[in-house]
A and B are shown apart, each in its own frame.
Chain A
Amino acid sequence: MSNHLLQAFHGLRFRTKITLGMTLMLIFCGLSIGLILSAMSSKALLEEGKKRGMALSSGLAFRLTEPLLAMDFLQMKNLIDNVHSQYGDIIYIFLTDTRGNILSHTFSGGFPTDLLGINEDSRTTQPLLLTTERGLVYDFNVRVVLGEKSLGTVRMGLSRSDMDAQIGQQRLISLLTTLGVVSLGIILALWFARTVTRRLNRLRASAEEIVKGNLDVQAGTSLEKNCWEIMECGKHDCPAYGDARRRCWYLAGTLCPNCQGKEYPLKIESCRSCPVFRYNFGDELQDLAEAFDVMAVTVKNHIEELTEREKTIARQQGLLKTIMNVTPDFITLQDKELTYRFASKAFCDHFRLKEEEVVGKTDFDIFSERQADLNYHEDKQILITGQPLAKEITFKRPEGQKWFHIVKVPVYDQDGSIMGLLLTARDISVLKKFQEQLIQSQKMEDLGRLAGGVAHEINTPLGIILGYTQLLMDDITDEELLDNLKVVEKQTKVCRKIVADLLGFSRHSHSVREAVDINASLREVIQLVEHAFFLNRIKIVFRPDETIPALTGDRERLKQVWLNLLNNAADAIGQDGLISVQTGHGGHGQIVVSVADTGMGVDRDHLNKIFDPFFTTKQVGKGTGLGLSVSFGIIKEHGGTISALSPPPEEYLPSGLPRSEPAGPGTVFVAELPVSGRAVQ
C-alpha cells in the first residue's frame, strides 16, 4: 500500500509535489496550531467564565455584607435578584447564613434541596460543575466575610451553555481562520511552486531541446540590466559586450579591470565584489539556469567546431579517397604485421578484389604462397632496415606484356619508429613501350639517315637506269623484250618511289612560312599521283571549295600530308576504287580537308592507333608505319587536328559518286586547319 503511495508520489510532477508537500505541511501546522490555540483559548475562555462567575459571586458577597449584618432581607433579595436578572446565564443565587439558613434565593416555587447537600465548603476548588435539568451549571460557593468572621455564604449557579457557545464560536472562528490561513498558504504554495517549477520546467525544456540536438536554448531569464549597461564601459571588444545570454563572470577574457583577465573558476572570487555580479546574481536556480546556458553555448560552439573539423576531415578524406581511387597507381598501406590497412581502387581492380577483401588481410590471403613469401621477406627487410625499395617488375598478361614500377617505403609514426609500409606501383607498360619505340625510332632515324644517303646515291643511277630503259623501249620492237623492259621500267619506278620516300622521310628541311592555297596544293599532289593511281583503276574526285581562304603554313610539308593521305587511301583500296578529296569551311573559321576512300576501312580498335608511329596494317615492306604519324605531327604543327572515321559519313563520301566494285566500307581522314594559321613552329 505504502509502496503504491510512494510510487504514485514519485510519479507526480515536481510542482504538484511541492504544492502537496506544502499543503500537507500547512494543514498539519495549521491544524496543530489551530487545535492547540483553540484548546488553550477554550480553556482560557472557560477559566475566564469561571473567574467571571467567581467575580460576580464575590462582588455579590461583598455587597451582601451590609444587608446581612443588618438582616435586611429586602436588600438581600434586591441585590440577589438584581444580579440574577442582570445576567442571563445566572441560573440561581442563594444566600445562607453561617448556620445554613437560606436567607434569600432566586427560586420561585420552593427551593431545590439538592443544592444544599453539595459544594458546602467554599475552601474546596471552586466552582463545582453540576449537571442539571437546565444543562451544565457551575456552582460557586463564596463566603460573605468581614475581617475573619464569616457572615454567610453566597451560592451562584452559572450556566455553562453560554461559555460552551462562546467556546464553540471561538473554535469555529479558529477553524475558519485556520482554514483561511491554510487556503492562503496553499495559494501562496501554488504560486511559489509555480515560480520555482516554471524555472525548473524551463531548464528541463532546455535540457530536452539539447537532447533533441537543439543547442540554441535559453534556460536563464533575460536580465533587466546587462553588464555593459551597469558598467557603462563601452568596450565593444569585450566578449561579454552584447552577449545577453551569458553572464560575464562565466566568460573568459572579459575586459573589466576587476576581472584581471582570469577565467571562470578563478575570477569568480573577484566577481563577488563586482557591482554587476551583485546586481545580476540570482538564486541557485538562476545560477543553475545560467550555468546551463553557458554550457549549452559552449557545447554548441564545441560541436560546431567539431562539425566543422569533421567536415574538413571528411572533405579531405573524400579528396584523398578520390585521389586514391582515381589514381591509376597502386597504393597500399600495411602495418607492422604486414596486414593491409589500405588498398587503392586501382590495386583492388587489378587483382579483381574488393577493398574489404584486402583490408585486414595479408599477402598470404591474397597472393599465391610463393609470391606472398617473396613479398614477406622483402617487406620484412624494409621494416627492419628502414631502407626503401624501388624495382620494376614485368609479367605477361593476355593483353600483353605489363611493366610495373614498384616503390616500397617504410612509414614512421610520431615517435620515429616504423609503423608500417607504403607501397606504390605504377603501370609503366606504355612508358616501356615508348622507351622501346624511342629506341626503335632512334634506330630508324639512324637508318633513315643511312637510307637517305644511300637513296641519294642510288637516285642518280636509278634515273639513268630508268632513262635508258625508256630509250631502249622506244627502240625495241620485239614484244617479249619490250615486256621485259616494261618490267624493268616498272620496278625501277618502284625503286625510285622508295628512294623518293626515303628521301622525303629523312629530309630535315627547315619549315617555311608562307601563304598556302590549300586547293592549289591539293591539285598539285593529285596531279602527281593521279596517273599512278589510274593504273590501279583508282579514281580521284576532287571537290574543292573555292571560297576557302589561303592559310599560313609550310606548303611542302602540307603537300607531304596530302600525299601521305592519298597514298594511304590508295593502299587501302588496292585496285578499283574511288578517292574523294574535299575542301570546305569548318566551324570556328577552320578549313576542313577530307580524304575519303572506298577501301577496306579501318577496324574500330585500330582507329585510335593509326596515328601512332610505326603502326601499320600493311604487309612488311609495303609501309614504314610512319606516314600517318608524320602527317599527324605536321597538322598539329599547323595548329590543326586530324582524325579518322570508318566508314566515312555521307558528307565526305557522297553515294552519288561512281564507285567500282568491290568497294570496302572506306575511311575518311579529316584534317581541320585554322585559317589564321597558328604559326608553324
Chain B
Amino acid sequence: MPQRLCSLCLLLAALFLAACGEEERPVKVSLDKRQEITARPQLPAITYAYLPQYSHTESFQRHQQLVEYLADETGLPIRQVFPDTFAHHIGMFGQGKIDISFSNPFVYVSLANRYGAKAMARIVEEDGRAEFRGQIIARRDNEAIQSVEDCRGKSWVAVDPSSAGGYLFPLGHFVDHGLTLRDFKEVVFAGGRQENVILGVYAGLHDLGSIREGSLKVVADKIDIAQIKVVANSRWYPGWVYAYSPRLPQEKADKIRDALLKLDYAHDPRHRAILDAAKFIGFVPSEDRDFDPIRELSHKVGLDLE
C-alpha cells in the first residue's frame, strides 16, 4: 500500500512538473536609464540613383549589385539613393544629391538641359539594341486602317501621356505625317499598361493603338497576335542612359563609364548575374548628341523638357 501511494504521488508530481514546463531566464535591462543619442553622419560617397520607375525595393534589388560592382571596380565609395518621384530625381540631381543618374532619354534631356548632365553610356536591352521605337497597331481585319493617314478621325488608345514608346514616339510619327492630336476621334490612355492597349485594339474597342516595340510578344500567350497588324513603326530613339553630374570629377566619371562598359554579359557569369538583376545585357558608350532626336520629338509634340 505505501508503495502504491508513493507511486501515485510521484505520478502526480510528474504531471505537475510537466505542467510547469521550462522557464526562460530573463535578462535584466533598465528602460529608465536613458541617454540622448545622435546618429553618426554618413561617409561621403558618389550617389547613384535609378529613375524611380519602380519601388525603392525594386530599384535597390535591380541595381544594388551593379552599384557594388562599380564601387569595387573603381575603388570609389558609391551609394545608391532613392528619389521618390521623377521630379524628386530631377530635383535631387539639381541639388547635387545624385552624382550618377540612370534615367530614360526624356529625363536625361531634362537633366542635360537644366543641370548639364552628361551622358556616358546607354544600356543594351534584352533585344540587343540600345534604341527602341514605338508601333502603331490595328486589327488585321480593319481594312479602314492601312497607313498612318488612315488613322485620321479614328479612336486611338495609347499607353500613357508620359510613355515614350507607347505614346510620344508614335505621336512624333503622327506629327511627321501631318496628324495632330486633334485629328483623332479620341485619344484614350490605357493606364500605363502596354497589354491593355493591345487588348483594347484586339477587342475592337479602339481602332488603333500605340505600343512600344516588343510588347506584342508579351501577350502572345493571351491572344492570337496574328489578328493584330502593325500599321507603322516610329523611328529609332535612344534608350535609357547613364549620365553624370557636372560636379563629379571627370576621372571618376571615366572610371565609372569604363567599369560599366567592361561588363560582359556573354562571357562573365558574375557580370551576367549583375546585368540580369538590372534587366539589361550591356552598355554602349553614349554622348549627349545621341539624344537630339528626343529633343526634336519634344519640340514636335510640344513637350517641354527645359
Contacts and interface: CB of A to CB of B under 8 A. Distances in A.
A35 B37 contact: no
Nearest to B2: A2
Contacts of B19: 35-36, 38-39
B33 A114 contact: yes
A111 B34 contact: yes
A115 B29 contact: yes
Contacts of A92: 31
Residue picked from A38, A91, A149, most chain B C-beta under 10 Å: A149
Interface residues of A, number: 48
Contact of A2 (B1, B26, B61): B1
A28 B30 CA distance: 44
B39 A101 contact: yes
B31 A91 contact: yes
B95 interface: no
Interface in A434-481: none
A112 B15 CA distance: 42
Nearest to A136: B26
Contacts of A101: 39-40
A149 B56 CA distance: 14
A131 B57 CA distance: 36
A28 B15 CA distance: 10
A113 B25 CA distance: 21
A107 interface: yes
B21 A118 contact: no
A311 B30 CA distance: 105
A130 B27 contact: yes
A65 interface: yes
Contacts of A147: 60-61, 64
B57 A146 contact: yes
A114 B29 contact: yes
B82 A70 contact: yes
B18 A35 contact: yes
A71 B60 CA distance: 13
A103 interface: yes
Contacts of A657: none
A640 to B, nearest CB: 101
B5 interface: yes
B15 A146 contact: no
A35 B16 contact: yes
Interface string B18-48: 1111001111111111111101100000000
Nearest to A2: B1
A132 B31 contact: yes
A111 B37 CA distance: 7
A131 B31 CA distance: 10
A132 B27 CA distance: 8
B29 A39 contact: no
Contact of B57 (A65, A114, A132, A157): A65
Contacts of B28: 130-132
Interface string B114-143: 000000000000000000000000000000
Contacts of B21: 39, 42-43
B7 interface: no
Contacts of B56: 65-66, 69-70
Chain B contact patch, size range:
35 or more
A258 interface: no
Contacts of A149: 60, 64
A2 B15 contact: no
B147 interface: no
A39 B5 CA distance: 25
Which of B20, B35, B39, B80 has most chain A Cβ within 10 Å?
B39
B84 interface: yes
B55 interface: yes
A102 B37 contact: yes
Contacts of A129: 24-27
B69 to A, nearest CB: 14
Given A69-B56, A111-B34, A118 B27 contact: yes
A110 B61 contact: no
Contact of B30 (A102, A114, A119): A114
A128 interface: yes
A69 B15 contact: no
A113 B29 CA distance: 9
A99 interface: yes
Given A2-B1, A112-B29, A107 B34 contact: yes
Nearest to A38: B19
Contacts of A131: 26-29
Contact of B31 (A6, A39, A114, A136): A114
Contacts of B5: 2
A32 interface: yes
Given A69-B60, A110-B35, A99 B40 contact: yes
A318 B285 CA distance: 151
B70 to A, nearest CB: 15
A666 to B, nearest CB: 105
Contacts of B64: 146-147, 149
Nearest to A132: B31
A11 interface: no
Contacts of A66: 55-57, 82
Closest 10 CB pairs of A and B: A110-B34, A35-B19, A131-B26, A39-B19, A101-B39, A69-B56, A129-B26, A70-B82, A130-B29, A66-B56
11 contacts: A39-B18, A39-B20, A71-B82, A92-B31, A103-B39, A112-B32, A114-B29, A115-B29, A130-B28, A130-B29, A147-B64
Given A39-B18, A133-B30, 19 more contacts: A2-B1, A35-B18, A35-B19, A38-B19, A69-B60, A69-B82, A70-B81, A70-B83, A70-B84, A71-B82, A110-B37, A112-B34, A112-B35, A114-B30, A118-B27, A130-B27, A132-B29, A137-B29, A146-B57
Interface of A: 2, 6, 28, 31-32, 35-36, 38-39, 42-43, 65-66, 69-72, 91-92, 97, 99, 101-103, 107, 109-115, 118-119, 128-134, 136-137, 139, 146-147, 149, 157
